[in-house]
Amino acid sequence: MRALLLLPAVLLLAGCQPEPSAKPLTPEQSAALKPADARIAGLYEQACKSCHTVPDTGAPLAGDRTQWDTRWAKGEDALLNSTIRGLNGMPAGGQCFSCSPDDYKALIRFMAGRE
């Protein structure tokens, strides 16, 4: 009975997932990914990767859309803002000292699985 009552809620939740095929990545799978653009890949290796492939840091894993979709839903501008200003364990600027706003956008798109 209880399961029957829950069913509509589960269906609703499933309907909210933009890509039901998105699967969680292991840290190893996440660490094996890199941005296609060589310069962006260099920035990623120096800055974002040290946290965004390590679950213990609390950072969403790069390439894992199950961890990024709710953040992506906030919009690119909101994500750019939290990157520049910092957010809890996320340091302002993400430890990239030469990143332009467009670099950040490319890094965010890559990590959110939208490259």
Q: Which residues bind ligand HEC (CB under 6 A)?
A: 47-48, 50-52, 57-60, 71, 74, 78-79, 82-83, 87-91, 94-96, 99, 104, 107-108
Q: Is the Cβ–Cβ distance between 93 and 84 less than 8 Å?
A: yes
Q: Is 86 left (phi over 0), alpha (psi -120 to 50) or beta?
A: left
Q: Which of 23, 114, 30, 42 is nearest to 76 (CA)?
A: 114
Closest CB 4 distance from ligand HEC, rounded Å: 35
Closest CB 20 distance from ligand HEC, rounded Å: 22
Residue 52 or 65: which CB sits closer to ligand HEC?
Answer: 52
Q: Which of 37, 38, 42 is nearest to 97 (CA)?
A: 42
Closest CB 23 distance from ligand HEC, rounded Å: 20
Residue 3 or 36: which CB sits closer to ligand HEC?
Answer: 36
